[in-house]
């Protein structure tokens, strides 16, 4: 534990003591008491693993993400909960989405519309307040924090070269990499060759050589969000966790969270592994739906979220740590054309539908989704449950004469 951070709330320690039979007690009584003690120890062990009842999965111990650094939250009440019918959503469509999520080993499905929570379903003994690994949702915070830094003129513009902030690269060709390149995973840096856990994330990122032309090719790797977090630290002159708390996490009212550090007092992982209440990510979804406005307060200058979901030149299916088109494994395209999603190799998904003011959070295990999981199924069921949903018009067909001579 580093920086005198408080322990995770709700953690439990298993313990036990000697069980002695009363003098003169029968063998049967002693055996019965022993059985009760073993059952109690088993229950405590289950709680230690994070479970709370039948059908629960064993979870990775959150204390394995140490050392860590506190991201203080605002601890404000969650958005009002209302019946889906009050937000013009058919309950049957939401139940169908929940059934599909449950069939594919989800932990939670939370749906928000117009800043109201309209539907929740939980599995494996979890709830809104359950602490969990945020997995690949974590880089979203770096993208949003960069937007705040641009709003505050700590960063000049999205295409500003990183050499303006990272002195080690001021006279290096890598200094020409732009903020936008880092946001779009197109820095051109060569992928890391080492395996295993790094004990110096900053040094490893700064040592990465160029492997291609920045902005030309998209490559999903930890170094890009890691360098973006470093750039934010250099621009703001403060720890990344502190900046996140001040400009974002506290202002959306989320509870305390933790960033995983590479070593005590070292760099925070910006690419993964933030420990937060799983339900607090619906707040981030609401912020994205409103283009940087959270419940009437402008946190990020309008237009930044639109930039995040603009197609990248290196790969038009992606923006800034978000996917703009349904994954290849999907059976159909998204039902609404403006859907974008935060996703990754883990099981967490956050779908945003600006046209219908919908945010959809579906969390799952860090090991990822099964091969049969359809990435567009859940958002499409919920989009089509909206009574005001209108299917987009069909794309105009191309002139057949341009394809077949003589027609």
Regarding whether 174 and 212 lie in a shared domain, the answer is yes
Regarding whether 161 and 174 lie in a shared domain, the answer is yes
- pLDDT score at 169: 97
Q: What is the pLDDT of residues 160-202, one digit of tens each?
A: 999 999 999 999 999 999 999 999 999 999 987 765 567 899 9
Higher pLDDT, 310 or 398: 310
Residue 54, in any domain of the structure: no
Regarding whether 178 and 196 lie in a shared domain, the answer is yes
Residue 377, in any domain of the structure: yes
Average pLDDT, the chain: 85
Regarding whether 186 and 291 lie in a shared domain, the answer is yes
Q: What is the pLDDT of residues 310-356, one digit of tens each?
A: 999 999 999 999 999 887 767 899 999 999 999 999 999 999 999 99
Residue 16, in any domain of the structure: no
Regarding whether 183 and 155 lie in a shared domain, the answer is yes
Regarding whether 164 and 114 lie in a shared domain, the answer is no
Q: What is the 3-state secondary structure (H, E, C) of the chain?
A: CCCCCCCCCCCCCCCCCCCCCCCCCCHHHHHHHHHHHHHHHHHHHHHHHCCCCCCCCCCCCHHHCCCEEEECCCCCCCCCECCHHHHCECHHHHHHHHHHHHHCCEEEEEEEECCEEEEEEECCCCCCCCEEECHHHHHHHHHHHHHHHHHCCCCCCCCCEHHHCCHHHCCCHHHHCEHHHHHCCCCCECCCCCCCCCCCHHHHHHHCCECCCCCCCCCCCCHHHHHHHHHHHHHHCCCHHHHHHHHHHCCCCCCCEEEEECCCCCCECCCCCCEEEHHHHHHHHHHHHCCCEECCEECCCCCHHHHHCCCCCCCCCECCCCECCCCCCCCCCCCCCCCEEECCCCCCEEEEEHHHCEEEEEEECCCCCCCCCCCCHHHHHHHHCECCCCCCCCCCCCCHHHCCCCC
Regarding whether 327 and 297 lie in a shared domain, the answer is no
Banded model confidence at residue 56, pLDDT cuts 50, 70, 90: low
Regarding whether 249 and 205 lie in a shared domain, the answer is yes
Residue 339, in any domain of the structure: yes
Regarding whether 148 and 278 lie in a shared domain, the answer is yes
Q: Residue 57 pLDDT > 80, yes or no?
A: no
Residue 20, in any domain of the structure: no
Residue 44, in any domain of the structure: no
- pLDDT score at 60: 60
- Region 96-106: what's the mean pLDDT? 97
Residue 22, in any domain of the structure: no
- pLDDT score at 393: 79
In CATH, what number is assigned to the domain containing residue 196?
3.40.710.10
Higher pLDDT, 55 or 81: 81
Q: How many domains does the chain divide into?
A: 2
- pLDDT score at 58: 53
Residue 13, in any domain of the structure: no
Regarding whether 219 and 338 lie in a shared domain, the answer is no
- Region 378-389: what's the mean pLDDT? 97
Q: What is the pLDDT of residues 129-170, one digit of tens each?
A: 999 999 999 999 999 999 999 999 999 999 999 999 999 999
Higher pLDDT, 244 or 401: 244
In CATH, what number is assigned to the domain containing residue 102?
3.30.450
Regarding whether 258 and 141 lie in a shared domain, the answer is yes
Q: Residue 42 pLDDT > 70, yes or no?
A: no
Instruction: Domain of residue 112: give its range.
Output: 79-127+323-391
- pLDDT score at 196: 59
- Region 286-292: what's the mean pLDDT? 97
- pLDDT score at 36: 43
Regarding whether 137 and 70 lie in a shared domain, the answer is yes
* pTM score of the predicted model: 0.83
Q: What is the pLDDT of residues 201-255, one digit of tens each?
A: 999 999 999 999 999 999 999 999 999 999 999 999 999 999 999 999 999 999 9
């Amino acid at each position: 534990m580093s920086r005198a951070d408080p322990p995770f709330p709700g953690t439990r320690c298993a313990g036990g003591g000697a069980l002695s039979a009363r003098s003169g007690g029968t063998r049967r009584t002693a055996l019965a008491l022993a059985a009760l003690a073993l059952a109690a120890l088993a229950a405590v062990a289950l709680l230690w693993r994070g479970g709370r009842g039948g059908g629960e999965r064993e979870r990775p111990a959150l204390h394995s993400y140490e050392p860590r650094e506190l991201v203080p939250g605002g601890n404000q009440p969650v958005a009002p909960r209302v019946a889906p019918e009050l937000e013009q959503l058919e309950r049957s469509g939401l139940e169908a989405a929940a059934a599909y999520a449950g069939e594919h080993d989800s932990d939670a499905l939370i749906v928000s519309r117009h800043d109201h929570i309209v539907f929740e379903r939980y599995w494996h003994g979890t709830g809104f307040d359950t602490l969990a690994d945020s997995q690949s949702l974590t880089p979203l915070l770096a993208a949003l924090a960069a937007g705040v830094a641009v709003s505050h003129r700590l960063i000049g513009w999205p295409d500003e070269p990183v050499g303006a902030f990272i002195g080690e690269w001021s006279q290096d060709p890598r200094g020409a990499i732009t903020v936008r390149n880092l946001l779009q995973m197109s820095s051109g840096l060569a992928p890391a060759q080492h395996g295993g856990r790094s004990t110096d994330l900053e040094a490893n990122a700064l040592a990465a050589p160029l492997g291609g032309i920045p902005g030309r090719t998209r490559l999903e790797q930890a170094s890009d969000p890691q360098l973006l977090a470093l750039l934010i630290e250099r621009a703001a002159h403060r720890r990344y966790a502190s900046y996140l708390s001040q400009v974002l996490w506290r202002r959306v009212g989320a509870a305390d969270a933790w960033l995983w550090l590479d070593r005590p007092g070292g760099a925070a992982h910006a690419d993964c592994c933030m420990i937060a209440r799983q339900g607090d990510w619906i707040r981030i979804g609401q912020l994205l739906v409103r283009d940087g406005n959270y419940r009437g307060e402008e946190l990020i200058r309008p237009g930044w979220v639109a930039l995040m979901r603009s197609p990248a030149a290196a790969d038009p299916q992606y923006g800034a740590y978000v996917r703009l088109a349904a994954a290849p494994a999907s059976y159909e395209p998204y039902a609404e054309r403006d859907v974008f999603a935060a996703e990754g190799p883990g099981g967490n998904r956050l779908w945003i539908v600006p046209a219908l003011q919908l945010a959809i959070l579906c969390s799952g295990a860090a090991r990822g989704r099964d091969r049969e999981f359809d990435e567009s199924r859940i958002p499409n069921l919920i989009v089509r449950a909206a009574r005001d949903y209108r299917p987009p018009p069909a794309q105009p067909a191309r002139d057949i004469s341009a394809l077949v001579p003589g027609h």
